[in-house]
Amino acid sequence: MLGDGKKVYLACGATDLRKNIDALSALVKENFKLDPHGNTMFVFCNRSRDIIKILEWDEDGFWLHMKKIEHGRFNWPDTAGDAKTMDLTYRELEILISSTRLRSKLKRRNALKPDVA
């Protein structure tokens, strides 16, 4: 991803991911009262928690990253108290995105681990 070192905002709860760049940018401005053109990344997740989109400004235009996982779900917060967003570090975002791979890997290890009597 391009965003190493950028501020990361996660949109709590579900977002309609049929939205394009312009609609997600408007959502950031209107609902979160934040500037989508800053040194930031905005992360959204769908209702079934299997797709995320990341909106990122890159000096002269937006990037829209998307990931759809085939098995499992992202561990996504419904709310952060009264807040609509939660701020994360870039490292926390990496962990969130890769968490389904880690859970799958841990399950495989447990299945392969011999029983000790």
Provide the domain limits for residue 100: 7-112
pTM equals: 0.79
User: Is 89 part of a structural domain of the chain?
Assistant: yes
User: Is 2 part of a structural domain of the chain?
Assistant: no
| Amino acid of residue 46 | N
Q: Which residues contact 29 (CB under 8 A, 6 or more apart)?
A: 35, 36
Burial of residue 42, with CB atoms counted within 10 A of its CB: 0-12 exposed, 13-18 middle, 19 or more buried = buried
36 DSSP assignment = T
Q: Mean pLDDT, consecutive 10-residue segments, the chain of 117 residues?
A: 75 94 96 92 95 94 94 82 81 83 54 54
Number of domains in the chain: 1
User: Is 79 part of a structural domain of the chain?
Assistant: yes
